[in-house]
Every structure is written in C-alpha cells, then in structure tokens.
Amino acid sequence: MSVGPSYDVVVVGGGPAGLAAATEAATSGLAVALVDERPTLGGQIFKQPGPGFRVADAAALGKDFRRGRALIEAAERSGATVLLRTAVVSMRGTSLVLVEDERESTAVSARHVILAPGAHDRPVAFPGWTLPGVITAGGAQTLVKTQCVLPGKRVVFAGSGPLALAFPAQLVGYGVDVTVVLDAGPSPGRRAVIRLLGAARGNTDLLRAAAGYRLGLLRARVPLRYRRIVVRAEGDGRVEQVVHAAVDAAWRPVVGTEETVAADTLCLGYGFFPSTELLRLAGCAFSYDEDLGGPTVVRDDWLRTSAPSVSAAGDGTGVAGSHVAIDEGRLAALGALLELDAIAPDAAGEQARPILRRLRRREAFRRALRPLHAVGAGIYELATPETTVCRCEGLTRERIEEAVSTTADVNVVKILTRAGMGLCQGRNCQRQIAAMIERRHRLALPDLPVSTPRAPVRPVPIAAVADGTIGDTGLFTLDD
Amino acid sequence: MPVGGWLPLATLTAPLPASTDVVIVGGGLAGCSLAYYLAQHGIETVLLERGELNREASGTNAGSFHFQIALHQLTAMETHNIKDRLLTEVRLHAEAAEVWSMLERELDGPLDIHTTGGLMVAETAEELQLLRDKLLIEEEAGLDMQLLTGRELRDFAPYLAEDLLGASYCAQEGHANPSLAAPLFALRAVDAGAVVRTNAEVTGLAIDPDGGTGRFIVRTAAGTVRASRLVNAAGAWAAALAGQLGLQLPIRAEGLHLNVTEPREHVLGPMVQHIGRRLTLKQSETGTFIIGGGWPARPESAPARYSTIWESLAGNTAIAMRVVPLLADVRIVRTWSGVMAFTNDLQPMVGESARVPGYHSLMATTGFTLSPLMARLLAESMATGRTTLPPTYDVDRAGGHPIPT
C-alpha cells in the first residue's frame, strides 16, 4: 500500500451530488480529489457511454444527458483531481484506502470528506426473481447508457414511484416493446393531483417531466396499471411469462386477481436503497425512513454527519433524486469550506440561502408525492418458502426463517445461515431478512440492528491490498 | 450447512429456577460443552448467557483444529521449562483430536468436521530446524506427524510457493463449523436436563457465607438464581465477571482480525500455517479462503463490535499470498473480528479455586480446539472430586488476589 497525497477535501462518488460538491470546493481554491469506481463520471443517472463509444448527436440524447454533461465538464474544469476506476474500500476518520483498477491500493488523507455514494436498486425477492431475463431498472439503464444494449424485446416493467413512469417511457423511446407497466402504488386521483399542484412551486420541471413520460406511454399504447405487483416470473431457464396480481394498500396480493403476460424481460424498479456502507464504516449515526430507502444518515444544516469532518450528500443519504443531490452537493461543499475556514460565514450563509429554499420546496413536493409511492410491507412477503432469498449463498426463505425463529439479531442469522456473507456483501438479502425478523418478533424496523459494517466495502483482489512491509504486530507477546 | 441444532426461542427464554447446583456463566463453546458434560453426569446445571449463544469468540473464530505446536506456544516457551510443558500440552492436543473425532456421533448432529490435515511451513533454515525440533515432541505426544521437504513437499502441496524450505504435516488437523458446535452442545445439554438461558446478563455476583448449598447468589437480567458452584466461562469477559467477586484474574481480552475471500475452485486440501509468521489459511467447503493467524482487531466500547483493521488485512494477506501465490487474484469479500481471552502465560485456566471454594474457571486458550476437552475434564473433576487437569492450569496462579470475606 502506497501513501498518497493529502487533500483538503476528498469527495467520494462522481454522481450529481459528488460532481457538484467537488466543483464547488475546488473552484474555491481547495485541493480536492473526486473519487469514483466507474470509468466515467456521472454516477447512475448521468451515466456516460462506456469506453469505445462516442456520442454522435448529444441533442438526440435529451435534456438529462446535456444536464449531466454540463455538470461533468464543470467538475473537470474545476481543478479537482479526478480519480476514476478507483474504489474506496476502507475508511477511518478522514483517512481512506483507495484501490485503483483492482490493482493498487493507496492511503489518502483529507481534512474533510464528503460522501456521495448514491443508491442501488431495492432488491425484491419473489418466485423466479433469479431467472435470467429479470433485471433491475438500474441494471437495464447501465446496459442502455453505457453499451447501447436493450435489455430485451418484450419487456414487462414493474415498480413504483416516479421511476415507474420515467423508466418505461425511456425504454419506449429506445424502441423497446413495453408490454405493460405495473405500478404497485395507487393511481394519482383528484386529491393527489391537488396536493401535488399545491406543492408545485419550484417543482414544475418535475411535474412537466412526469406528464411527458405519461404522454409517451399513452402514445405508445402501453397500458399503465396501478395497484398491481409482480408475484412470479416463470420460464424454462429464462423469463417467458410474468404473473401479476392486484394488491391492497399494504401491497399484499389480492387472491383471485392473477394475470399472466408473455415477456422475455422483466424489469424491476421498486425504488432505491441508499448505499450506506461507507457511512456506516465512518461511524455515522442513522435514522430510518422507508420511503427514502430505509436507513438515512443523520446530518446537520450543513449536511455534516455525526462523524467529525465527514459530510454526506445525495441519494446515499436518502433517495430524493438528482436535483436534490446537486443542491446537497453544493451545500455540503459550503459546509466543508466553512469548517476549513475557506469561506466567510456570511458568504456561506448567503450562498446557502437559495439552495436551502429549493431543497425545502423539493421536500414539500416529495411529501405530497409520498402517498402515491409509499412502500407497502407486502413487497417483502412475496417469496415462498422455496424462493431463494440470499442468492450468493443459495439460501431459501425457509432456511432463513428457521434461523430467524431463534433470534432477532441479524448478525446471528448471518452466522447461522451464511446469509449476506457472499459477494454482494448483503446488499440483496439484508432488507428481506430484516422484514422476516420484523414479522416474526413483532419489532419495528428502526429498532433492528444492522449487520456490523466491515472493510472492504467492495470485494478487492489480494494482490491489490497485500502489503509485505507491514510488520509483525506482536499480539501474542508475553507480559513481563 | 445442515440446519437443526438450534434451540427454540421459548426454551432459551424460559424462567430461571430459584436454585441449582451449578451455574455456568457464558454461552460460548466452553460453557455450552460444559453444560452438556455436567448434564451427562446428572449434575443440575443452569447456563446463563448475556446475549445470544455462540456470539463471541466461539462463533467468530475460524473453526480450525490447532494440534501442532503453534507460534505463540513457542514464543512463550523461552522463559519456561520448554519440553516438559509442551509435551503435556501436546498430549492434550492429541486427546482433543480424539474428542473431536467422536463428537458428531456423540452429539448425534452435524458439526461439518473435516479432517483435512494441516501443514506448517518454514521459510528459513532456522524455521526448518524449529519444525524438526517440535516434530519430535509432537510424535512423542502421539500426534500423527510428517516432515515434508523438497520434491516431496512440492508433490504433496503444489499450491505452496516453490521456495519454501519445508513443512510439518499433522494428519489429525482440520476444522469444524464454529457456528454449529456450541449450539449443538447447548441443544444436547437441554436434552439431558440442563437449563440454558440467553439474554441473562449477570448484573451482580455475591457469596453468602451462610448460604450452604446456595452460597453463590447470581443476579441476572432475567432473575436471580442461587448455586452451590459457579463456573466462569465468560471468555474475554472472564476477568470482569471474577471482579464482581473481588477476584483479579490474569486474563485479558484481545480482538482478532479475520479475512475471507470469494469462493474459488477447490485447490487447498490441508490447513496451512507458518512456523515463524502469523498465518492460518484454509479453504472452506464453500470454496472461500479464510485467512487469519493472530492479527489484531481494534477494541471498541460495547455494544459496538471490535473493528477490523486495514493494516491487519494488508499484512495478513501478504503472508498468505507469499505462502500460496495463487491467492493473488482472489478477492477479499469481508473481514470480521472476534474477541478472545488470553492469560498472561498463554496457559489455560481450568479448575476450582482453592481460595474460593466452589468457584471454577473454564478458560482454554486456543479455545475452539480445546474447549470440549477442557469442559469434559472439568465436568469429570466436578462430578468425582478428582482432577486430571495439569497443575499449570491452576486457577489461583500468579496474578490472582484473594477475595475479601
């Protein structure tokens, strides 16, 4: 492990929040590093074409693409050191271990760290969810945006929240035959529309976008069905058909409402989970909000966490979308500047004011939207006893339930079954297991312990991290 | 991993009896196996566990059977009467090998025991000589040993780095599944009549001098129980527990760091250790490589678990890759920590205190390997009054202080 430079600010994550934070901090003259594990900046939403691809007509790729390009170019011009293909695998205080290209590890230190780790798809286990042809919205988006590969020919989209409109509309735009869109939430009735319009100030862009997506689906004659959920994916070796059913308010399937539709691809978009591994490793305090994706890091007005000199911004702190992420990134950078005496308090307050106003309006809009896509508990009950829940270790719901019957501690379940010990490091099964514990022991989720955070937060080859110069630590020495 | 060794929650949370013959404090492998052996002797036993069974060192160690003389025993040797003491220890190792080999049958359940054999490698001429010296003691004590060098080593273990000078091989070494052992003992203890109670942290410990058969008063989060005999099987927390009786034990807690990789095709048969450096390496049945060997974890204040340390990962994996080069491109997926108990002289502390009659200690260093044997020997001595435990395991040895009564 080599010892790298020390920076004023290290920003982790090259999505909208990280880009905005790094730009803000670097243009103020600080030494800033912006770290991202992917080969290009942009994060998930502004994901750029992969190596070897060239954009011939940027205008054709739409407004969001141009918005992303502008953010990326601003960060590149800002003077920040951009470290791509670089994963942060460990963190203690404001010291980080970086691994570049799975080859080399470097220790870097910072005076302040801004974590903008983003989010990943909410995993949902139901019979057939591990069949080839079942793909998450994020996975499908990566295929399309980086490799120009469409996920399939006949696609069923199932999900909830804003994504359930936006993503199928995008797929239709790419020329995919979207057979049906299933939204687990309720159809926006008159009351919801009134509520949304009441919170429209500062959010007309989002309303317009939603209307556009809806129109796109209507034009392509894609049926949009509310209060329906996927209960099974079926097929011989891959998805051939999808079974869906009506759900009640808690997203529990209603008996006798099943329908079957032929498809080669099932795309799932039940929202996102914040990627909290680094925040947990840093020792940050958490609260809980299921609609923001579960565990949400506690922050002050300048987005500083409870860990000294560690701030957090964007979807990794609670999923609220790219507009909020950009503003949060700026705000977190202002907070860092303030802490490092790189800006006068008055000036910081002045610059923060419009950001805070926008964030308040987005928050009001999100609250108005909440009844439409609040996640129902039924989403975590779709697995049958035989359904694989932990796919890394090949564990069925039955096996895990057996362990859950003897303990309410997720760490003990892990030891008893190996659930969560595999390559995904628990990202796929942890929430499902928490729901089992919640039901079995009648506990409220915020009280459930999460599994202990551990480095490395990404799997990393031994050759990249092994260090023969580290001496014998002499644990077993004799006391005199 | 086969399922079925777990006690139902209703059993683990049943009300405590008001009195019993023996109270065991600590639901790790030591406590659970002792509860089983005591119950086999027909002794009335209550086991109290602060949290959940098998949650600390017993469930977080790597499950290896260490029968060969290890680096830490050699380190400790230099100030002691080396050979005699080692011979006693290794004889117990051989006996422990015997106990483990019968255990699945005795407990009528799976422990995932795999007798893979174990290699201990040498890099330098001095280390190779050390292997030769210790081999004589190990053979005399009854272990099935072999020294492999040159071509013979290459043929036997082609995955080892070619420039290693030699390795001692112990055919009895191997591993069991640490997540199964203590819970299965607990299940069989309950079958035989013991009471096993979790979430029963000991909040107060006192001796009633007029208490007769109920002289130990054990107050717990789940109620109070009186016992005529008390066994401290609290592992890393044994000193704190003894402190409640005014006893000072020379036991300290050390956090250990472990690494595990993604699964790969099965290439490594035996466990691999190093005579001069801190390495224990094996490939599990699922194909993952488990890499440890005594690297530290960082203490944290409860309830947080000890942190793993990046430098431990980097240093430990460097030795692993030095010894088994094919590990270079295998990815580390996780690290974890466990808290183990050590005495200052690295010897177990097992038996009854002469100063506080009725107070017993059950603390085996190299705890996973030795706990079932130690528990069996202690149960025998508690049942019969005759002890076969070595005098070096004395509970009252240096560092302890009399309790004020």
Q: Per the CB < 8 Å rule, is B330 touching A462?
A: yes
Q: Is the pLDDT of residue A24 over 50?
A: yes
Looking at the complex, report in whole angstroms how far the Cα of residue B169 sits from the nearest Cα belonging to chain A: 23
What pLDDT is attached to residue B302?
Answer: 77
pTM given for the model: 0.91
What pLDDT is attached to residue A246?
Answer: 98
Q: Per the CB < 8 Å rule, is A476 touching B72?
A: yes
For A476, name the nearest residue in chain B, comparing CA atoms only: B72
Q: How many angstroms from the chain centroid is the CA of residue B140?
A: 24
Whether the Cβ atoms of residue B395 and residue B348 lie closer than 8 Å to each other? no
Closest CA to A23 of A72, A68, A59: A72
Whether the Cβ atoms of residue B77 and residue B134 lie closer than 8 Å to each other? no
What pLDDT is attached to residue A421?
Answer: 86
Domains of chain A listed by start with CATH number: 2-120+273-343 (3.50.50.60), 123-270 (3.50.50.60), 383-447 (1.10.10.1100)
- pLDDT, greater one: B277 or B304: B277
Q: Which structure tokens are listed for B182?
A: 């203590």
Buried b or exposed e, range A301-318, using 16+ CB within 10 angstroms: ebbbbebebbbbbbbbbb
Q: Is the pLDDT of residue B405 over 60?
A: no
Helices then strands, counting H and E runs in chain B, come out as: 11, 18
Whether the Cβ atoms of residue A13 and residue A115 lie closer than 8 Å to each other? yes
What pLDDT is attached to residue B84?
Answer: 79
Interface contacts A/B by beta carbons within 8 Å: 140
Q: pLDDT tens digits for B163-194?
A: 999 999 999 999 999 989 999 999 999 999 99
Closest CA to A108 of A232, A251, A12, A225: A12
Q: Mean pLDDT, to the nearest integer, of A431-441?
A: 91
What pLDDT is attached to residue A476?
Answer: 45
Using beta carbons and an 8 Å cutoff, which residues of A are at the interface with B?
1, 90, 92, 97, 105, 393, 399, 402-403, 405-407, 409, 411-412, 415-418, 421-423, 425, 452, 454-456, 459-463, 465-468, 470-473, 475-479
- Least confident interval from A83-87, A165-169, A313-317, A324-328: A165-169
- pLDDT, greater one: A341 or A200: A341
- Give DSSP secondary structure letters for B319-344: HHHHHSGGGGGPEEEEEEEEEEEEET
Q: Which residue has the tokens 């939207």?
A: A369
For A412, name the nearest residue in chain B, comparing CA atoms only: B55
CB interface of B with A, residues 277-306, below 8 Å: 277-278, 286, 294-296, 305
Q: Per the CB < 8 Å rule, is B314 touching A1?
A: yes
Q: Is the pLDDT of residue B1 over 70?
A: no
| Percentage of residues in chain A having pLDDT higher than 70 | 97
Q: Mean pLDDT, to the nearest integer, of A438-442?
A: 90
Looking at the complex, report in whole angstroms how far the Cα of residue B338 sits from the nearest Cα belonging to chain A: 12
Please report which confidence band the pLDDT of residue B233 belongs to, taking 50, 70 and 90 as the band edges.
very high
Q: Mean pLDDT, to the nearest integer, of A285-309?
A: 91
Q: Mean pLDDT, to the nearest integer, of A253-269?
A: 97
Reduce the DSSP state of residue B204 to 3 states and report it.
Answer: strand
Q: Per the CB < 8 Å rule, is B305 touching A476?
A: no
What pLDDT is attached to residue A175?
Answer: 87
- pLDDT, greater one: B1 or A220: A220
Q: pLDDT tens digits for A452-473?
A: 889 999 999 999 999 998 876 5
Q: Is the pLDDT of residue B2 over 50?
A: no
Q: pLDDT tens digits for A32-49?
A: 999 999 999 999 999 998
Q: Mean pLDDT, to the nearest integer, of A178-194?
A: 90
Q: pLDDT tens digits for B132-160?
A: 999 999 999 999 999 999 999 999 999 99
Torsion sign, CA atoms A331, A332, A333, A335: positive
Q: Per the CB < 8 Å rule, is B335 touching A454?
A: yes
Q: Is the pLDDT of residue A75 over 50?
A: yes
**Which one of A412, A462, A477 has the shortest CB-CB distance to B317?**
A462
ipTM of predicted assembly, 2 dp: 0.91
- Least confident interval from A423-432, B334-343, B391-400: B391-400
User: How do the residues of chain B divide into helix, strand and coil, expressed in percent and rounded to 5?
Assistant: 35, 25, 40
Q: pLDDT tens digits for A217-230?
A: 999 999 999 999 99
Contacting residues of A for B276, CB less than 8 Å apart: none
Query: What's chain A's average pLDDT?
Result: 91
**Which one of A417, A423, A470 has the shortest CB-CB distance to B262?**
A423
Looking at the complex, report in whole angstroms how far the Cα of residue B63 sits from the nearest Cα belonging to chain A: 13
Q: Per the CB < 8 Å rule, is A479 touching B344?
A: yes
Q: What φ, ψ does residue A244 adopt, rounded to 5°?
A: -130, 160
Domains of chain B listed by start with CATH number: 9-59+179-250+345-393 (3.50.50.60), 115-172+252-343 (3.30.9.10)
Looking at the complex, report in whole angstroms how far the Cα of residue B388 sits from the nearest Cα belonging to chain A: 27
- pLDDT, greater one: A115 or A469: A115
Contacting residues of A for B346, CB less than 8 Å apart: 476, 478
What pLDDT is attached to residue A447?
Answer: 67
Contacting residues of A for B310, CB less than 8 Å apart: 90, 92, 97, 455
Compute the distance between CA of residue B143 and CA of residue A222 in angstroms, rounded to an integer.
Answer: 74
Contacting residues of A for B7, CB less than 8 Å apart: 406
Looking at the complex, report in whole angstroms how far the Cα of residue B292 sits from the nearest Cα belonging to chain A: 13
CB interface of B with A, residues 145-174, below 8 Å: none
What pLDDT is attached to residue B398?
Answer: 65
Q: Per the CB < 8 Å rule, is B262 touching A459?
A: yes
Looking at the complex, report in whole angstroms how far the Cα of residue A97 sits from the nearest Cα belonging to chain B: 8
Looking at the complex, report in whole angstroms how far the Cα of residue B333 sits from the nearest Cα belonging to chain A: 5
